[in-house]
């Protein structure tokens, strides 16, 4: 996502733009100060003696808890010693403290050598990413650099699955389950689908959130573990070669991010799984669009868009596209123009309403690229992520020529 400004005509918008520009300038200054603070904290940590005494002294000096102090020291140590390029990006205000924290937290499991390699890769992928998408990009790098360690940690985390109950007062409690991602995603998708079906019943006064909670409780409380006939719908994109076990490229679980190849194969080979072939353009990594000339979004572009975007088209929103509401990206397409996937976009309910706010002007482009002009006059460009990196066929001519020359030389040496 990139930002720029365009000329403004409204005095109110001009005032808002001036205030927003000041906010952005101050945010950059805060980032530079945070980077300086990280360097100072690392110097203090190096000179203060033991970790325990350094933590206690910092907690007293900063009027914070020891846990808060320790987190600051750990982050400073990681940025200065293991992730210097990330620290430099913070100092240049290319990322903020929250994004730097996501990088530190995701790479803490790596050795120092692998962390520095990850730092070199990540720093080239910072542009336009919010904290959520950045964390997912970093996790993908960690998975590619340390697949064996990732698998071991995944298996250990799966052994830590649990359910917890926490009272919240006023007759309410929070019930939370820590589950493998494929189970949690399938459960939520199933509950959400049932809640939306009930929402369409005439006279139903409960909100979708209330219905999700009621469906969830009803299914858990029925005899013998609930309704076994319910089929879940989750979307996993996996390379055919990975599916066949010929490589170990990570797959993508919509609404979650990268998952290892072994888990993608486990999901794909489940008896309840359904496979859909997806053809991508080798040069771009995108799924080709299907053009139509009708206003009502037809089924094929509907499917194309949900597959292409995987998530809400709004930058930073992680809600899977299967929950999105489809509409023409430009309202003028309702009167004329094609209803292809390029002319449509899919936003969650909240961001669909935001799109209709006064001053919001969406401009659809090709392959899921959207330009949004906000009421302050700023332009934000969002690109649908490709399914894979561009793949170009490697030229085999040099190798063939080399073998040919070797055969020629061999024949020459056999002559008397």
| Each residue's pLDDT expressed in tens, for the chain with a length of 416 residues | 444 444 444 555 578 888 999 999 999 999 999 999 999 999 999 988 778 888 888 888 888 888 898 999 999 999 999 999 999 999 999 999 999 999 999 999 999 999 999 999 999 988 878 888 888 889 999 999 999 999 999 999 999 999 998 878 788 889 999 999 989 999 999 999 999 999 999 999 999 999 999 999 988 887 555 444 444 456 777 788 888 888 888 887 776 778 888 888 888 887 777 777 665 665 666 655 433 333 333 444 455 556 666 677 766 666 766 666 666 555 544 444 444 555 566 777 777 777 777 777 766 655 556 677 776 677 766 666 666 666 655 434 444 444 444 454 444 444 44
Whether the CB-CB separation of 313 and 347 falls below 8 Å is answered with: yes
Cα 98 from Cα 393, distance rounded (Å): 40
Report the pLDDT value the prediction gives residue 270, as an integer from 0 to 100.
77
Q: Classify residue 254 by burial, with Cβ atoms within 10 Å: 0-12, 13-18, 19+.
A: buried
Half-sphere exposure of 195 (CA within 13 A, CB side): 21
- Compute the Cα dihedral for 315, 316, 319, 325 and give only its sign: negative
What DSSP designation does 172 have? E
> What is each CA distance from 227 to 65, 161, 230, 231, 273, in whole angstroms?
47, 22, 6, 10, 18
> What is each CA distance from 394 to 141, 246, 248, 387, 397, in whole angstroms?
24, 19, 20, 20, 9
Strands 172-178 and 236-237: unpaired
SS3 261: helix
- Compute the Cα dihedral for 178, 138, 315, 238 and give only its sign: negative
For residue 66, give both structure tokens: 């020891």
Cα 182 from Cα 93, distance rounded (Å): 36
Strands 361-364 and 370-373: antiparallel
State phi, psi for 111 to the nearest 5 degrees: -70, 165
What DSSP designation does 368 have? G
- Overall size of the chain counted in residues: 416
Report the pLDDT value the prediction gives residue 11, as an integer from 0 to 100.
53
Report the pLDDT value the prediction gives residue 394, as an integer from 0 to 100.
46
Report the pLDDT value the prediction gives residue 351, as an integer from 0 to 100.
72
Give the neighbor-by-neighbor strand order of the sheet with 257-259: 236-237, 251-253, 257-259
* Residues with Cβ within 8 Å of residue 77, at least 6 apart in sequence: 42, 45
What's the pTM?
A: 0.65
* Distance of alpha carbon 107 from the chain centroid: 16
* Residues with Cβ within 8 Å of residue 75, at least 6 apart in sequence: 38, 100, 101, 104
Report the pLDDT value the prediction gives residue 2, as an integer from 0 to 100.
47
State phi, psi for 178 to the nearest 5 degrees: -100, 110
Report the pLDDT value the prediction gives residue 51, as an integer from 0 to 100.
82
């Amino acid at each position: 996502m990139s930002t720029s400004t365009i000329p403004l005509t409204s005095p109110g918008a001009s005032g808002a733009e001036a205030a927003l520009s000041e906010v952005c300038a101050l945010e950059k200054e805060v980032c530079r100060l945070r980077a300086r603070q990280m360097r100072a904290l690392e110097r203090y940590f190096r000179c203060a003696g033991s970790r325990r005494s350094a933590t206690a002294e910092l907690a007293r000096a900063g009027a914070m808890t020891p846990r808060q102090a320790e987190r600051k020291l750990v982050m400073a140590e990681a940025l200065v010693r293991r992730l210097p390029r990330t620290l430099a990006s913070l100092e240049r205000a290319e990322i903020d403290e929250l994004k730097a924290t996501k990088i530190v937290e995701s790479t803490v499991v790596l050795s120092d050598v692998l962390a520095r390699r990850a730092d070199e890769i990540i720093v080239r992928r910072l542009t336009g990413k919010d904290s959520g998408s950045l964390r997912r990009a970093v996790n993908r790098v960690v998975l590619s650099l340390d697949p064996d360690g990732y698998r071991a940690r995944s298996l250990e985390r799966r052994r830590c699955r649990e359910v917890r109950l926490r009272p919240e007062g006023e007759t309410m409690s929070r019930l939370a389950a820590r589950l493998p991602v494929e189970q949690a995603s399938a459960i939520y998708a199933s509950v959400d689908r049932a809640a939306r079906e009930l929402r369409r019943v005439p006279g139903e006064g409960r909100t979708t959130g209330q219905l999700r909670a009621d469906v969830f409780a009803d299914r858990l409380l029925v005899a013998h573990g609930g309704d076994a006939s319910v089929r879940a719908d989750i979307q996993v994109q996996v390379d055919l070669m990975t599916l066949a076990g010929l490589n170990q490229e990570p797959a993508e679980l919509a609404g979650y991010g990268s998952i290892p190849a072994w888990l993608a194969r486990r999901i794909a080979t489940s008896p309840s799984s359904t496979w859909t072939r997806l053809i991508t353009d080798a040069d771009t990594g995108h799924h080709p669009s299907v053009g139509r000339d009708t206003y009502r979004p037809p089924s094929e572009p509907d499917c194309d868009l949900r597959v292409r975007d995987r998530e809400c088209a709004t930058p930073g929103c992680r809600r899977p596209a299967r929950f999105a509401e489809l509409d023409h990206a430009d309202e003028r397409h309702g009167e004329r123009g094609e209803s292809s996937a390029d002319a449509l976009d899919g936003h969650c309910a909240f961001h669909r309403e935001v799109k209709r706010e006064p001053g919001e002007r969406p401009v659809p482009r090709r392959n899921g690229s959207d330009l949004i002009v906000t009421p302050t006059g700023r332009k934000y460009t969002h690109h649908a992520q490709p399914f894979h990196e561009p793949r170009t066929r490697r030229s085999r001519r040099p190798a063939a020529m080399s073998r040919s020359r070797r055969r020629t030389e061999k024949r020459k040496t056999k002559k008397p």
